[in-house]
């Protein structure tokens, strides 16, 4: 049990460090190429957060499980769209004109 707790703490520390390093790298890219930080945030960080799903789907397809690959792709997109839309609507209501 203690080993599992230590592993979780180490994993969280590595996650925080890598996220900070990734953000710093993306910001320096924006400065180097004179791009708006918003654009870097949308494109580069979006690719970075979707990369694990892409790798998992590719490995599942290569392993002969195309249903798992498609299910992962569909599921992650549905969750991303609904969560982003839902959280955005909670923060700032979305007005729809009739």
The predicted-structure confidence for 8-65, as pLDDT tens digits, reads as follows 999 999 999 998 898 888 888 888 988 887 887 788 777 877 888 889 999 999 999 9
Report the domain count for the chain: 1
Is 72 part of a structural domain of the chain?
A: yes
Burial profile 14-50: b = 16 or more Cβ within 10 angstroms, e = fewer:
eeeeeeeeeeeebeeebeeeeeeeeebeeebeeeeee
What's the pLDDT score for residue 52? Answer: 86
Q: What is the pTM of this model?
A: 0.54
Is 13 part of a structural domain of the chain?
A: yes
Is 16 part of a structural domain of the chain?
A: yes
- Cα-based distances in Å from 40 to 2, 15, 17, 37, 52: 40, 20, 20, 5, 19
Is 40 part of a structural domain of the chain?
A: yes
Is 96 part of a structural domain of the chain?
A: no
Domain boundaries, position 44: 2-91
Is 98 part of a structural domain of the chain?
A: no
Diameter over CA atoms, the chain? 58
- Closest residue by Cα to residue 70 from 60, 81, 85, 83: 60
């Amino acid at each position: 049990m203690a080993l599992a707790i230590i592993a979780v703490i180490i994993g969280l520390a590595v996650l925080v460090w890598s996220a900070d390093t990734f953000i710093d790298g993306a910001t320096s890219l924006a400065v180097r190429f004179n791009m708006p930080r918003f654009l870097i945030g949308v494109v580069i960080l979006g690719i970075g957060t979707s990369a694990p799903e892409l790798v998992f789907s590719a490995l599942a397809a290569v392993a002969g499980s195309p249903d798992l690959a498609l299910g992962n792709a569909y599921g992650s997109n549905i969750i991303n769209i609904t969560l982003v839309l839902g959280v955005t609507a909670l923060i700032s209501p979305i007005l729809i004109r009739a």
